[in-house]
Amino acid sequence: MLFFAARSLAGQWDKVGSRLTHIQFGWQWIGAASVLVLVIYALLIEGWRRVLGAWDSHLPFMQAARIWFLSNLGKYVPGNIWSLTAMGVMARKRGLSAIAASGSSVIMQMVSLATGTAIVMVTSATLLGQPLLVGAAVLVLAAVLLSAPRFLPPLAVWVSTLIGRDLAPPSVPATSIWTAAIASTLSWLFYGLAFQLFVRGLLGAAPGEISSYIAVFTAAYILGFVSPIAPAGLGVREFTLAAFMTQLGLANEADAALIAIAARLWLTIVELVPSGLYIAAGANRKLLSH
């Protein structure tokens, strides 16, 4: 991540160099944004736990959080399968089904993509001043949520065949899917708010509506996520974020490039802190056991 940031800054120094000398960090806003991101992680972990229960596999929240954070480190390796593989291995060590852990994660990801796409439609239509498109997007989101318990299990099986895993389709309770959908929807909305707070802390101001920041961040995150090669959407998310911010008038080119790079470092650090704490706790337990 540091190498990517340095390379990006070097390539765009003519744009961002002068801006860097005038930055005065608003740490209270960046701190608030970081806390909100941690709340988002808690929502996503709880949503995954609810879907995991469909396979009669249950985990206490703290254990689920440990698996979720540590397996997520696999997304920094190209290929988009290492997170699922790590999740399956860690779940099996705790006496759970690896298929249940991977399958519930796939379903959670599908729910997140569906709700995120619908949110981009709603926020984009709002920005364009198209109430009919807003209504249509809301109807699409409602239809996805209502039909999710039927189409997500076979979709998860299909995805599992693509990644080479044998997955038996569970009978997923509708309440589990809807809980996951609510958690995903709230996470996208909170991500947009956290991103706006981060921009304010970085630049001293965050012009524009909250819907603009939700649309920009969600679209950039989804495009980075579906990228088959870039680890953790590296490069794809930053390019999209900077381009959309400039297009919507949220920042000029120099500020947009700086925000995109800084946001990547910020979110990486926020994610690595709890992951590092869990790794350190595991190492301490091993030392004590010896």
Residue range 242-267, pLDDT digits in tens: 889 988 889 888 888 888 888 988 99
Amino acid at 9: L
- Residue 232 confidence (pLDDT) above 90: no
> Is the predicted pLDDT of residue 168 greater than 60, yes or no?
no
How many Å apart are CA 119 and CA 145, to the nearest integer? 13
State in Å, rounded, how far the first CA of the chain is from the last one: 35
Residue 41 has pLDDT above 90, yes or no: yes
Task: pLDDT band for 31, please (50, 70, 90 cuts).
Answer: very high
Report the distance separating Cα 19 and Cα 15, nearest Å.
Answer: 8
Res 199: pLDDT:
94
What's the pLDDT at 19? 61
Q: Are 131 and 240 in contact (CB under 8 A)?
A: no
pLDDT band, residue 51 (cuts 50/70/90): confident
What pLDDT band is residue 201 in, cutting at 50, 70 and 90? very high
Q: Is the pLDDT of residue 167 over 60?
A: no
pLDDT band at 13 (very low <50, low <70, confident <90, very high): low
Asked if 50 contacts 176 with a C-beta cutoff of 8 angstroms, the reply is yes
pLDDT cut 70: percent of the chain above it: 74
- Select, from the ranges 62-66, 71-75, 88-92, the one with the highest average predicted confidence (pLDDT): 62-66
Residue 73, pLDDT above cutoff 90:
no
b/e 45-81 (16+ beta carbons within 10 angstroms → b): bebbbbbbbbbebebeeeebbbbbbbbbbbbeeeebb
pLDDT digits (tens, 9 = 90+) for 148-163: 667 666 666 665 565 5
Mean pLDDT, the chain, rounded, equals: 79
94-138 pLDDT per residue, tens: 877 777 777 777 778 888 888 888 888 888 777 766 677 777 767
**Residues contacting residue 249 through CB under 8 Å, at least 6 positions apart:** 207, 208
Where residue 204 falls (left for φ over 0; alpha for ψ -120 to 50; beta otherwise) is: left
